[in-house]
């Protein structure tokens, strides 16, 4: 993977001939989101990655991050923003899977026959005036969210994080790129 950064953010350009599900360079998507798979497929990575759910307890982390966000609204010296929230979610999702793989807690995550594994985590949030609108749980929840958004400007932030595990160097873990768009 080649990461190109610009003032507008980072762009991930794949060297798809180098990546495969079971080759020396492996890509794992730490999400079961159909939209995330669709995006990777559109990038030319169809059948060149595998999907594994992150073991991260997202609800617990979202509660913690919401508390940081609320504290930031009350204290101007603390500048935790919805963009920070999104980036932290993406990084945490990928990192939790990386640590599970490195710790060898499940055979399903054994990738030590590969030279290098890239783990991609991503998350998207809706930001309405600095407040995060969490994923809806049912149709009533969705109707309530749509009524809040109706006639109001809002932002949608997507965080992306890519970690690399170098299996040839004692499973060294490196955050390759992390950004929010």
Set 75, 84, 123, 141: catalytic member: 123
Q: How far apart, in whole angstroms, are the C-alpha atoms of residue 123 and residue 92?
A: 10
Q: How far apart, in whole angstroms, are the C-alpha atoms of residue 136 and residue 132?
A: 12
Residues sharing a CB contact under 8 Å with residue 95, sequence separation 6 or more, in sequence order: 121, 161, 163, 175
Catalytic-residue membership of 140: no
Q: How far apart, in whole angstroms, are the C-alpha atoms of residue 56 and residue 78?
A: 26
Residues serving a catalytic function are 123
């Amino acid at each position: 993977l080649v990461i190109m950064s610009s003032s507008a953010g980072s762009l991930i350009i794949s060297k798809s001939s180098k990546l495969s599900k079971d080759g020396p360079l492996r890509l794992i998507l730490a999400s079961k989101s159909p939209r995330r798979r669709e995006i990777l497929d559109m990038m030319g990575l169809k059948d060149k990655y595998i999907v594994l759910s992150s073991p991260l307890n997202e609800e617990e982390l979202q509660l913690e991050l919401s508390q940081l966000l609320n504290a930031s609204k009350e204290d101007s010296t603390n500048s935790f923003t919805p963009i920070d929230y999104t980036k932290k979610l993406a990084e945490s999702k990928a990192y939790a899977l990386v640590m599970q793989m490195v710790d060898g807690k499940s055979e399903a995550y054994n990738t030590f026959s590969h030279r290098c594994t890239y783990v991609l985590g991503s998350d998207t949030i809706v930001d309405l005036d600095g407040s995060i609108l969490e994923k809806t749980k049912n149709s009533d929840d969705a109707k309530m969210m749509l009524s809040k958004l109706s006639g109001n400007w809002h932002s949608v932030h997507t965080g992306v994080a890519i970690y690399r595990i170098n299996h040839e160097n004692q499973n060294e873990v490196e955050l390759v790129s992390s950004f929010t768009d």
